[in-house]
Amino acid sequence: MSAQTCTPQAPAPSAAADSAAPPNNGRDSAGRFAKGNPGGPGNPHARHTGMLRKALAECISEEDVMDLGRSLYLAARNGDWVAAKLLLSYVIGKPAAPADPDTLEAHEWGVFKALPVNEQDVSALLGGLQAKLAN
């Protein structure tokens, strides 16, 4: 008896096997999440991180935070730019993004269009408009 006859062989893949539906793993045929997908396990470390944050918050008093704030302020006053940046980011917050000058008029028009207008205002505006300006 030869080794070939004793070894089971897998059937050759066929076109029918390739077109068979993939195993149901909570996704549709395009790979997107299907209706009823149970979702993932979430963040397994979130509960542990929450417990650590709670423990840290419980061991630091309001006075401790005020002392740290004063130390941070003094370091910033003495030229520590990292301390100044950290202090100002918490006290004042990040500065707002500057307005894009190329889209300023479009933004102003959008704000203007969103404002409510009553009939009396429209009548007063159109009634006082000179004919040559209206054209």
How high is the pLDDT of residue 13? 56
Please tell me what DSSP assigns to residue 35: T
Q: Name the pLDDT band for 23 (thresholds 50, 70, 90).
A: low
Q: Provide the token pair at 133.
A: 């300006």
How high is the pLDDT of residue 74? 98
Q: What share of the chain is helix, strand, coil (3-state, %, to 5)?
A: 55, 0, 45
As a dihedral over the C-alpha atoms of residue 5, residue 10, residue 13, residue 14, rounded to 10 degrees, the angle is 70
pLDDT digits (tens, 9 = 90+) for 82-117: 999 999 999 999 888 998 999 999 999 898 888 887
Beta strands in the chain (DSSP E): none
Q: What is the mean pLDDT of residues 62-81?
A: 96
Instruction: Delimit the domains of the chain by residue range.
Output: 61-94
